A and B are shown apart, each in its own frame.
Chain A
């Protein structure tokens, strides 16, 4: 009697154990398949989103050049179409890479697109499209998160090899390799003493070609780079690719003119004393400035555009009772606002790109993908203000899912 009972108990135990093992094994396989499907869905969403953003101008189609909030989100340049992006719409995105800047004299916070020394792109937070707005306009609020990165394909870096006479090295690189034999068109803005206390500037233009290593050396025998200030803006072209880079040397240390975008629609730029933004401690020198707007023409030459409804020269100081300067620039075309300034015999240059692309600015928009479960990325080559850019999107699901895995699985 005991034998059959033990047999039943043993068999039942083995059967239940085996059943549990196989259920978990089948379940693991099924869940892995479901996970693949979910990841596939995120990858397809990334593909849809990047095309939806890049191939749609948004509404109104010129929202980048106005102060209105778009009712449909897209970055395409409506005038051109295809994967050509509006440099102005990009400018109206809240950058997630730089810390916002507070300017007490307007009482506003400004989105800060991180740039190199002397380059500023500060746009009022109240006028930019933020990430939450974009999620809602794209219809993915609560279901997906994304980060969009717009970076120039070509990196044009400028290094000062010698100050007097000035010798500069320009290196052009792509993500894959250096750009040998690239055609360079450069413009050196040289600030120097002008009439009275206001600085003047002169533009030295020229062209060159990079060697096989993507490097070109430029000599300026008449310029002492250690004196006054200069900003070098170099455009590189080869085989259809184009890029731009800039660098500057200033002698005005810790005292700068910082341009803030006040109105996209009217092109109003405020010129602030840096002491109002970043306090470096006394003393407090006033800055005399001279502002001009440069537009790059089809023949790669800079042309100055007369500024309207604002002072071209002026003085800014910090503290109460000293208002900021103000200039109005034409809004229809991308360009660069160049502000040369001085105090005593110290000179500086501030550059504001009007439109992403003018100075090869990179932009990061959206949330960070760090720490997300599974992130899908997709990439497109695009054109911004006639410069070659790469648009990369990272997308992840916010709905969340968990895998139950057997304890013995890895």
Chain B
């Protein structure tokens, strides 16, 4: 009998041990394991609501504005029915002691009893659209030459002069380049073509420069090149331009129309006109572009004709739209193109276009309305040697498209100031909980 009593005592000890072990081994509730990640849901909800900056706009409006109701409706609609929320907006203020304070602006909630102890939250700092923050652009380590020759005329820049286009382009582009130099005369352009620097700036570099032709379909021609024209046209000059572009690895930029269709020098062509009554200008016609491309590609001189097309209305690529927003350059997203270059030049002259940064407009059939073409030497290594940015739109030129094309191609980073200026930022906190959650 004694043994049985001992065993019963052992059972009691084991049962006690089991009960104590069960009491201390607390397992998490199944809901904690399988519930959705409320913090991520909260953050992504805020990001989606702010995808088009609508949240940023609403939280800066008066607390009695009707758009707060829209935000409440959007929140209720966006979240699953079993999720309760509490959205709180704080004004971020910076005191004289540099201490940041958060003042409550407004709270929205669909639960009167709170969101529960197991709720999660995420926050988003939004900035007022009315505030301009200082922006410092990354400098493109190249020299930008803007043709501003006083002794040349432009064509297809109706209503403007090349000189005032040059001034505007200087204002828009010079913050992005280490050095920006105005080429004030055709003789200065001649110096450049001969490899001679034209300014005293120690940062000026002819190699890898960008040469921006503001004269539309015309290009200034130095007097020294007037005499070197071939027997049939001034295409020999544009051929030289192509060769210099290749040798110096320039990016030659044409802002509108058919590139290099005329040459201009008001002193040397004072009695000639381009066929349309503009004196100081001689028509090269379509061979001008062909000769340039042949020079760019290292081919022998030839003045064959070139071709452009009229795809009509053309639209920005998604990347162009992105950079339009990024750099705050807002030309119309669709334009009319009547001088688009043919994609056939890509293979003929060993040109490529960067799929991401090269195309400004969507290609229409074989016609490329605006792009930066990179010439790649087939030998020895396929490296870029010279580029052409051609905006084949109809007149009158919108130089913002040229600016966008260049900024897209070089895509310098913009460094924006911190969003801590007093009263210009608001902190939005979205707290989510599950209905019935503890």
Q: Does B315 count as interface, using CB distance less than 8 angstroms? A: yes
A22 touches B365 (CB 8 A): no
Q: Does B344 count as interface, using CB distance less than 8 angstroms? A: no
Q: Which residues, 297 to 325 on A, are CB-close (under 8 Å) to B?
A: 297-298, 303, 305-306, 308-309
A386 touches B34 (CB 8 A): no
Cβ contacts under 8 Å, B356 to chain A: 62
A380 touches B322 (CB 8 A): no
Given A8-B3, A43-B34, A380-B41, the answer on whether A14 and B21 have CB atoms closer than 8 Å is no
Given A83-B44, A240-B74, A297-B333, the answer on whether A39 and B7 have CB atoms closer than 8 Å is no
Residue of A nearest to B311 (CB): A306
What DSSP secondary structure best describes chain A's contact surface?
mixed
Cβ contacts under 8 Å, B70 to chain A: 181, 238-239
A333 touches B362 (CB 8 A): yes
Cβ contacts under 8 Å, A177 to chain B: 73, 76-77, 81
Cβ contacts under 8 Å, A378 to chain B: 36-37, 40
Q: Does B75 count as interface, using CB distance less than 8 angstroms? A: yes
Residue of B nearest to A177 (CB): B76
Q: Does A388 count as interface, using CB distance less than 8 angstroms? A: yes
A380 touches B365 (CB 8 A): no
A239 touches B71 (CB 8 A): yes
- The smallest C-beta distance from B322 to any residue of chain A, in angstroms, reads 6
A18 touches B14 (CB 8 A): yes
Given A26-B18, A333-B315, the answer on whether A14 and B4 have CB atoms closer than 8 Å is yes
Q: Does B8 count as interface, using CB distance less than 8 angstroms? A: yes
- The smallest C-beta distance from B134 to any residue of chain A, in angstroms, reads 23
A241 touches B33 (CB 8 A): no
Cβ contacts under 8 Å, B355 to chain A: 62
B4 touches A240 (CB 8 A): no
What are the interface flags for A386-402 relative to B under an 8 Å C-beta threshold, 1 for contact and 0 otherwise? 10100000000000000
Q: Does B78 count as interface, using CB distance less than 8 angstroms? A: yes
Q: Does B123 count as interface, using CB distance less than 8 angstroms? A: no
Q: Does B424 count as interface, using CB distance less than 8 angstroms? A: no
Cβ contacts under 8 Å, B21 to chain A: 26, 29
Bound-state CA distance A179–B76 (Å) is 9
A15 touches B7 (CB 8 A): yes
What are the interface flags for A31-49 relative to B under an 8 Å C-beta threshold, 1 for contact and 0 otherwise? 0110010011001000100
Q: Besides the contacts A29-B25, A240-B49, A240-B51, what 5 more A-B pairs have beta carbons closer than 8 Å?
A: A80-B322, A176-B76, A177-B81, A239-B71, A306-B313
What are the interface flags for A111-122 relative to B under an 8 Å C-beta threshold, 1 for contact and 0 otherwise? 000000000000
B363 touches A330 (CB 8 A): yes
What are the interface flags for A1-37 relative to B under an 8 Å C-beta threshold, 1 for contact and 0 otherwise? 0010001101100110011001001100100110010
- The smallest C-beta distance from A353 to any residue of chain B, in angstroms, reads 16
Bound-state CA distance A294–B30 (Å) is 49
A33 touches B25 (CB 8 A): yes
Bound-state CA distance A333–B22 (Å) is 60
What DSSP secondary structure best describes chain B's contact surface?
helix
Q: Does B2 count as interface, using CB distance less than 8 angstroms? A: yes
Bound-state CA distance A175–B355 (Å) is 39
Q: Does B117 count as interface, using CB distance less than 8 angstroms? A: no
What are the interface flags for B347-373 relative to A under an 8 Å C-beta threshold, 1 for contact and 0 otherwise? 000000001100100111110000000
Bound-state CA distance A51–B83 (Å) is 21
B44 touches A176 (CB 8 A): no
Residue of B nearest to A385 (CB): B318
What is the interface residue range for chain B against chain A?
A: 35 or more
Q: Does B10 count as interface, using CB distance less than 8 angstroms? A: yes
B44 touches A381 (CB 8 A): yes
B40 touches A241 (CB 8 A): no
Q: Which residues, 170 to 194 on A, are CB-close (under 8 Å) to B?
A: 173-182
Cβ contacts under 8 Å, A242 to chain B: 51-52
Cβ contacts under 8 Å, B7 to chain A: 11, 14-15, 18
Q: Which residues, 48 to 100 on B, are CB-close (under 8 Å) to A?
A: 48-52, 54-55, 58, 67, 69-81, 83
Residue of A nearest to B355 (CB): A62
**Chain B interface (Cβ < 8 Å from any Cβ of A):** 1-4, 6-8, 10-11, 14-15, 18, 21-22, 25, 27-28, 30, 33-34, 36-37, 40-41, 44-45, 47-52, 54-55, 58, 67, 69-81, 83, 311-313, 315, 317-319, 321-322, 333-334, 355-356, 359, 362-366
Given A176-B77, A181-B70, A239-B73, the answer on whether A11 and B41 have CB atoms closer than 8 Å is no
Cβ contacts under 8 Å, B8 to chain A: 14
Pull 28 A–B residue pairs with CB atoms less than 8 Å apart, ordered by A.
A11-B3, A14-B4, A14-B8, A14-B11, A18-B11, A26-B21, A29-B25, A39-B33, A39-B34, A47-B37, A83-B47, A83-B48, A174-B74, A175-B77, A175-B81, A178-B77, A238-B70, A238-B73, A238-B74, A306-B365, A308-B363, A330-B315, A330-B364, A332-B362, A378-B36, A378-B40, A381-B44, A383-B48
Bound-state CA distance A380–B319 (Å) is 26
- With beta carbons under 8 angstroms apart, the residue of A15, A84, A174 that contacts B10 is A15
Cβ contacts under 8 Å, A83 to chain B: 44, 47-48
Cβ contacts under 8 Å, A40 to chain B: 28, 33
A7 touches B3 (CB 8 A): yes
B73 touches A181 (CB 8 A): yes
Q: Does A376 count as interface, using CB distance less than 8 angstroms? A: yes
Cβ contacts under 8 Å, A3 to chain B: 1
Residue of A nearest to B321 (CB): A298
- The smallest C-beta distance from A185 to any residue of chain B, in angstroms, reads 13
Given A84-B51, A239-B49, the answer on whether A47 and B77 have CB atoms closer than 8 Å is no
Bound-state CA distance A226–B284 (Å) is 60
Q: Does A382 count as interface, using CB distance less than 8 angstroms? A: yes
What are the interface flags for A62-103 relative to B under an 8 Å C-beta threshold, 1 for contact and 0 otherwise? 100000000000000001101110000000000000000000
B40 touches A47 (CB 8 A): yes
- The smallest C-beta distance from B431 to any residue of chain A, in angstroms, reads 16
Bound-state CA distance A305–B29 (Å) is 56
Given A14-B8, A36-B28, A309-B365, the answer on whether A174 and B77 have CB atoms closer than 8 Å is yes
Q: Does A154 count as interface, using CB distance less than 8 angstroms? A: yes
Q: Does A379 count as interface, using CB distance less than 8 angstroms? A: yes
Cβ contacts under 8 Å, A82 to chain B: 47
The 7 closest A-B pairs by CB, nearest first: A174-B77, A239-B74, A308-B365, A240-B49, A11-B3, A240-B54, A381-B44
Residue of A nearest to B54 (CB): A240
Q: Does A295 count as interface, using CB distance less than 8 angstroms? A: yes
Given A173-B77, A176-B76, A239-B67, the answer on whether A333 and B52 have CB atoms closer than 8 Å is no
